[in-house]
Structure 1
Amino acid sequence: MENLVDKIVSEVLNRQGRETTTIIAQPGISRPNYQREKGKERLLGITAPESGNKPGPSFAPQLNPSGTLFTVSMKPPVKINTGFTPMEENIEVKAEVRKSEITEKSFGQAKFIGVSAGNTVGYVIPNLEPDLGQYLQVNRNLRAIGVISSRIGAAVQIMAADEAVKKTNSELIRLELARDELGGPGHGVFALFAAEDVADVIRAVEIALMATEEYYQNIKNTPAGKIETHYTARAAAALNKTFGAPLNQAFGIIIGAPAGIGLLMSDTALKTAHVTPVSFWGPSVAQAFANEVWLTVTGDSAAVKNALEAAREVGMQVLAEFRA
């Protein structure tokens, strides 16, 4: 038994050979054998008689019954709970708005072009089924159909569609607003491009997806509501078809949600600058009962910009009150 104890004590002492231990001499035990004998006592359960030493002040080291300072602990260090949990270094934080991914994969006979901000998807059907064409009221000569569909946005995608028709030989043939926005106050959108040449429609969808990314930056969305303002120096066919915007004129869109914020933004815009209102939408069937107000305006380029800036500023002020 003693041989086994000697062996264990030796191993422990070897592992902790670098530790510094203060030794208080006791009669009958030579200094070199002191640690070995005290190790045996601990393992065999032998308790040494208590010394008459009284503990010193709380900041001074306390002597244990063996006469040594307690400098080695076999317990793991206690973790102090600071209330702060550091993030792992490898965690990747993804931004809400990601860059457009133009891929042009094929799914069946359709060409999948890519995705963009606002959960927007774009694809092309090279040869639309004639029966669907009748339901969608598509001209038989325009068999190539490009689709832009989203869950968030509407105005963003409409502005993007206008950029697409400016730069391609295609046209916006259908636009519908859906009550969606992932449960928010606004819309999703369902927009169709058409052209005789498939290449024109593919290019139109590509441009629309990239422009969606840019216009999406104009949305300020909070749990309390949202505001957005959009500007173009030259309105084209898509904005003309959707809102009645004068072609080739400066044009702006003002949106506020809930609807009361949109009304205040609209009133501020018209009082700030000399602009002409083109259309006004409130919660209605045409708006899919979205809790928003839309005002579109036209006029001199500088005046339209001033109107949008003033509307955005007052909208931000109201949203700040919601947060307060």
Structure 2
Amino acid sequence: MDDKNIPYSRDIQLLLSHFEQDFTTASLAPLGNGHINDTFKLVTATNSYVIQRINHEVFPDPVALCNNAQLINQHLSKQKLNNAYPLFVPQHLLTITGDSAVKIGENYWRIMEFIENSYTLESVTTAKQAALVAQAFAQFSHTLSQFSAKNLTIIIKDFHDISSRMNQLRQAVANDLHGRLSGCKEVVDFCFSQQKFIEQVIEISNTLPVHVTHNDTKINNLLFSASSQKPCAVIDLDTCMPGLLMHDFGDMVRTCCSNLAEDDPCVDSMVLNLSIFKALIENYQDTFADSITQLEKQSLIVGARLLPFIIGTRFLTDHLNGDSYFHTSRVNHNLDRANNQLQLYKLITAAETNLQQFVKKALEPIN
């Protein structure tokens, strides 16, 4: 295998020995720009694959993570055979012994199919693109509504739990391990000042039905077909577990509706794109049709505010803790991200009344 001085190349060589495929003439190159895992593309004479080192500090049970993905893929694949799911389902390669995760030293690895003639987007530029994104992620969750969330392992406890995230921030502030609090106290104070919204989130969360949710519905977790320019697969199932639809919808808003990248420090120039928001919420509701309750529809606006707020607090917490969770590439990278996401939260909050007009009312039954 040609590794071109790739990090972990020795581990990858050992990983490949667990599979029956012939990788002796394969080439390897880095792939993507994810915050958490290390990802590579492996190319052989006949096929291409995605190799990933699972970050076991972020995901303490990589085997359960891979098992969750396998269960989801099996369900989606069955539905696709019945013409009930339109997207491609990228499969994990199984080892000679039938495993989807392999431990090499201290690290866990997996290999997945690479979807040829596909690409990812880092940002949404049109309402038409936003409509396609909403439809694809809604198709994913809607199809999984027939699969019990109880079958899945909780990969990260309290992942979108606002109380838990605020407690983590509170602890990071109290510890101030790296002496960074003085440089971001105004941001910290703003987060703690949002108690009324936090209480609203807790109240509505206790009334909503639990679904299998993706929990990381960023635009770059969709593959687009190079021929049709439409979504062809939902990828990165690492955080798929029991959750609420408002979480998935909120993350779409978070990653689609701002004119800035999530780490852009020029937050004063941020704009909330209402046409993209309208396309997201209307197509998300339409794809679920009558399988989404009126309360869940109302919760989508809460989710739109929640996800920028909660990821903003997570970036801020990681900044205070010394950047131990999210990959960073510059000084104060996580603080820039926190300021960016909290600015988006402020814009959505200011526009909330206007956004409510896009929540569709349930059809009245005909007597």
| TM-score for both structures, normalised by structure 1 | 0.23
Q: Which has the higher contact order (CA 8 A, sep 6+)?
A: 2
| TM-score for both structures, normalised by structure 2 | 0.21
> In proportion to residue count, which structure has more strand?
1
> In proportion to residue count, which structure has more helix?
2
